């Protein structure tokens, strides 16, 4: 039964006071587990596994342990308020974070719906009512309570946790001596398949154990108290759950137990009498109501957190002025919750909640593997999962095994949600998210040496043998001069050649000017030019590049991309089909150059960007500034590693340089601010991002107050299949 303090919101920017000791950690962790699982599931699981349901609860706990160890370690490495979404996003990137965010949200909503339907069954002991309608009404009321704010419910939640634990221990103490051993004679009537299937269904009973990691920032001595509290609480529940279920099975008729949705009151009737039944039913109602309320509190914060990280529509990140609650997130959660309560059977709610939780726990274990294998300097947990990676491998394999035993609906639901998460990220979140993670950093570190070596070779190459300059119609004379000036700085000197293809009849013969020719002659650079009115412009340029072996293609982009789609379409086609590097000038013409800003370092475009920046800066007597951004919640050591990479790049330059590394959630505006003062900006324009207007690179270029060069190269070294797969997931 999660407390509000244990919700997994990731939007915490103000440091919190460390006031929670080991006992508080135990209370939160145990309280987060107790709820619908034990009050409703024993009967449903008994129908699947028979008396071996007792063992099923224990096995489910074993599968939870690796995730508890993994999350305890990550919490001590990053003792900040956060949760599953935060760790997975930081470990494996925003796409996996998106999948995790959806997964945890779905799991919490299904668990809340399951609790409400179970609650309505226990209410039958007090008043006759249509169960689903009452459950929907309760869901509506809880949504209203949460729209007002959650502070009003915090103390009540803590009191309920204590009361429920006392009642459950009393239930076991009184019931154990009355167990009929004969009830367990046929222990596994449905074999191992039934046992494993039941373990999968009851897995949701342990889902709250890792919630304490979400409040790591408030825990004293987190390196000791978090792992100790989590492991003790899991161990305690692995004993308490089977003991409760053993009492239920041993004191109830098998036929009745397999049909009931209120197994604890069924058992209580045989040895606690009417008063005991009323007490159990009353505690169940309060516990399940509290569980449902906590589920809404926690789940509503996932759309909120994802919106703040640009992975969901911005309106989901809004909060109420008075309540401070994520209003849109609560409303979206409420709509889904009411739909589930009204139309999804109880057993399917339990299976789907467990299925999504199994998938999330698999991602938690994978996140720890990502952090460990990345070998990052800033990842220094105070607690380390023992016997790594054996527990994590066991947890991943066991969770996936349980997932396959839950039936077609939960399995299809889990797989579908992964595809939905991938599709959502690829279509909505990718262009907006700040991409940083342990996996990405690990790939980056392995690529640094190669990139520095390639950059050094490019800087000392002496320039391009043949540079092609395209003058489209219409192009202002000042921009034509800028294109030629860029070509003059990037071509080999002496011995290089600049060829101009001019489709603007108004300026035929005007470019290059006599001054340009004189400058080229002084450097030993040949100039040739052709004027055309040919309709198949891109075809002609493409044939020239292929026939002559052009090394670099230079063109300018129209100021208004929307109004000149045909021109942009041709340039995009050329960029995608030419076998040489391409440079596209955006914004106004280049004037005096004192400072060149290279945006976004650490990628495959670095050698080309740095070569061009160094050649231009050398001839213009300018300096270079490397600019790179990280997420606002990234560790300081991550920025240090980027500074170190810039130091290596600076070592291959022939001009003065500096760098700016900043943490932010506003990628475009921050880059524009850091580039302020530069006379020229250089950034990469990969194929999949070079879209009209909506492209990230173009939005950045549009926001900077100076000329921008968008660079593309087809000469990227393709990594191996496994590396490409990892890059696809973390990017």
Highest mean pLDDT among 83-97, 367-381, 684-698: 367-381
In this structure, the number of other CB atoms found within 10 A of the CB of residue 199 comes to: 29
Which candidate, 242, 228, 203, 604, places its Cα nearest to that of 383?
A: 228
Q: Above 70 in pLDDT, residue 53?
A: yes
Structure confidence by residue, pLDDT tens digits, 528-559: 988 877 667 888 889 999 999 999 999 888 76
For the chain, percent of residues with pLDDT exceeding 90: 23
Q: Above 80 in pLDDT, residue 638?
A: no
Q: What is the pLDDT at residue 11?
A: 40
Q: What is the pLDDT at residue 693?
A: 33
Q: Given the structure tokens 């949504």, which residue do they identify? A: 143
Distance CA 602, CA 443 (A): 10
Q: Given the structure tokens 């199994």, which residue do they identify? A: 358
Contact 327, 147 (CB under 8 A): yes
Token reading at 576: 């995608």
Grade residue 471 by pLDDT with cuts at 50, 70 and 90: confident
Distance CA 280, CA 540 (A): 83
For the chain, percent of residues with pLDDT exceeding 70: 81
Q: Strands 552-556, 466-471: parallel, antiparallel or unpaired by DSSP? A: parallel
Weakest-pLDDT range from 198-212, 409-423, 634-648: 634-648
Q: What is the pLDDT at residue 80?
A: 59
Weakest-pLDDT range from 58-62, 205-209, 279-283: 205-209
Q: What is the pLDDT at residue 615?
A: 92
DSSP 8-class letter at 626: E
Structure confidence by residue, pLDDT tens digits, 214-272: 556 667 777 788 888 888 888 999 999 999 999 999 999 999 998 888 999 999 998 88
In this structure, the number of other CB atoms found within 10 A of the CB of residue 255 comes to: 8
Q: Above 80 in pLDDT, residue 434?
A: no
Q: What is the pLDDT at residue 691?
A: 43
Contacts of 196 (CB under 8 A, 6+ apart): 59, 401, 402, 405
Q: What is the pLDDT at residue 512?
A: 73
Q: Above 80 in pLDDT, residue 697?
A: no
Q: What is the mean pLDDT of residues 391-412?
A: 91
Q: What is the mean pLDDT of residues 274-286?
A: 88
Continuous segment of H or E residues that includes residue 283: helix 273-308
Q: What is the pLDDT at residue 690?
A: 40
Q: What is the pLDDT at residue 456?
A: 82
Longest dimension (CA), the chain: 107
Q: What phi and psi, each to the nearest 5 degrees, are found at residue 560?
A: -110, 100
Weakest-pLDDT range from 117-131, 260-274, 360-374: 117-131
Token reading at 320: 């109420």
Contact 714, 686 (CB under 8 A): no
Q: Hey, what domains does the chain have and what are their CATH numbers?
A: 4-426 (1.20.1740.10), 443-730 (3.40.50.12370)
Q: Above 70 in pLDDT, residue 723?
A: no
Q: What is the pLDDT at residue 215?
A: 58
Grade residue 3 by pLDDT with cuts at 50, 70 and 90: very low
HSE-CB of 581 using CA atoms within 13 angstroms: 27
Grade residue 688 by pLDDT with cuts at 50, 70 and 90: very low
Q: What rounded mean pLDDT belongs to the chain? A: 80
């Amino acid at each position: 039964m999660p407390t509000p303090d244990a919700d997994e919101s990731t939007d915490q920017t103000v440091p919190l006071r460390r006031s929670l000791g080991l006992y508080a950690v135990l209370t939160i962790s145990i309280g987060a587990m107790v709820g619908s699982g034990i009050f409703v599931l024993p009967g449903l699981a008994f129908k699947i596994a028979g008396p071996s349901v007792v063992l099923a609860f224990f096995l489910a706990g074993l599968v939870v342990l690796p995730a508890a160890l993994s999350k305890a370690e990550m919490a001590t490495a990053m003792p900040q308020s956060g949760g599953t979404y935060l760790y997975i996003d930081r470990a494996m990137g925003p796409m996996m974070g998106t999948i995790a965010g959806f997964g945890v949200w779905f799991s919490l909503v299904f668990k809340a719906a399951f609790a409400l339907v179970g609650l309505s069954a226990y209410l039958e002991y007090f008043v006759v009512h249509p169960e689903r309608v009452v459950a929907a009404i309760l869901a509506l009321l809880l949504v209203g309570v949460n729209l007002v704010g959650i502070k009003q419910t915090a103390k009540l939640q803590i009191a309920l946790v204590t009361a429920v634990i006392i009642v459950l221990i009393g239930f076991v103490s009184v019931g154990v001596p009355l167990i009929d051993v004969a009830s367990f004679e046929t222990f596994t009537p449905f074999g191992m398949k039934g046992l494993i299937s039941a373990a999968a269904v009851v897995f949701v009973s342990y889902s709250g154990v890792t919630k304490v990691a979400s409040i790591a920032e408030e825990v004293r001595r987190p390196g000791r108290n978090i792992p100790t509290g989590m492991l003790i609480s899991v161990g305690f529940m692995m004993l308490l759950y089977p003991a409760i279920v053993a009492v239920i099975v041993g004191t109830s008729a098998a036929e009745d137990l397999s049909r009931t949705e209120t197994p604890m009151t069924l058992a209580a009737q045989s040895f606690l009498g009417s008063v005991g039944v009323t007490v159990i039913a009353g505690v169940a109602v309060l516990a399940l109501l509290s569980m449902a309320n906590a589920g809404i509190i926690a789940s509503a914060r996932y759309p909120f957190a994802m919106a703040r990280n640009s992975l969901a529509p911005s309106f989901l990140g809004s909060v109420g002025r008075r309540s401070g609650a994520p209003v849109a997130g609560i409303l979206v959660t409420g709509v889904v919750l009411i739909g589930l309560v009204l139309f999804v059977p109880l057993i399917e709610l339990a299976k789907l909640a467990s299925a999504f939780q199994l998938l999330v726990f698999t991602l938690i274990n994978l996140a720890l593997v990502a952090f460990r294998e990345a070998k990052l300097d800033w990842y220094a947990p105070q607690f380390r999962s023992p016997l790594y990676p054996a527990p994590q491998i066991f947890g991943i394999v066991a969770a996936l095994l349980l997932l396959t035993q839950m039936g077609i609906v939960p399995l299809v639901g889990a797989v579908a949600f992964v595809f939905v998460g991938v599709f959502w990220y690829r279509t909505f979140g990718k262009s907006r998210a700040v991409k940083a993670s342990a996996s990405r950093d690990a790939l980056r570190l392995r690529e640094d040496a190669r990139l520095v070596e390639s950059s050094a070779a490019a800087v000392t190459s002496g320039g391009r043998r043949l540079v092609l300059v395209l003058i489209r119609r219409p192009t202002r004379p000042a921009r034509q001069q800028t294109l030629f000036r860029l070509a003059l700085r990037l071509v080999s000197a002496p011995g290089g050649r600049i060829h101009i293809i001019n489709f603007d009849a108004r300026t035929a013969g005007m470019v290059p000017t006599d001054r340009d020719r004189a400058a080229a002659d002084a450097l030993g650079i040949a100039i040739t030019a052709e004027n055309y009115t040919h309709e198949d412009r891109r075809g002609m340029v493409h044939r020239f590049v292929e026939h002559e072996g052009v090394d670099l293609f230079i063109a300018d982009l129209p100021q208004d991309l929307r109004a000149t789609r045909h021109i942009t379409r041709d340039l995009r086609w050329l960029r995608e089909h030419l076998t040489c590097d391409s440079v596209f000038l955006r914004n106004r013409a280049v004037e005096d150059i004192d400072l060149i800003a290279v945006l976004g370092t650490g990628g495959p475009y670095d050698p080309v960007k740095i070569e061009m920046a160094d050649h231009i800066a050398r001839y213009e007597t300018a300096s270079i500034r490397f600019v790179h951004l990280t997420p606002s919640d990234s560790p300081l050591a991550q920025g240090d590693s980027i500074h170190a990479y810039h130091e290596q790049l600076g070592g291959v330059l022939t001009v003065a340089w500096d760098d700016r590394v900043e943490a932010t959630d506003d990628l475009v505006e921050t880059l524009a601010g850091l580039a302020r003062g530069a006379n020229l900006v250089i950034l990469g324009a990969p194929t999949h991002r070079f879209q009209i207007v909506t492209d990230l690179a173009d939005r950045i270029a549009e926001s900077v107050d100076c000329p921008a060069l968008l660079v593309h190269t087809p000469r990227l070294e393709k990594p191996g299949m496994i590396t490409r797969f990892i890059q696809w997931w973390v990017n």
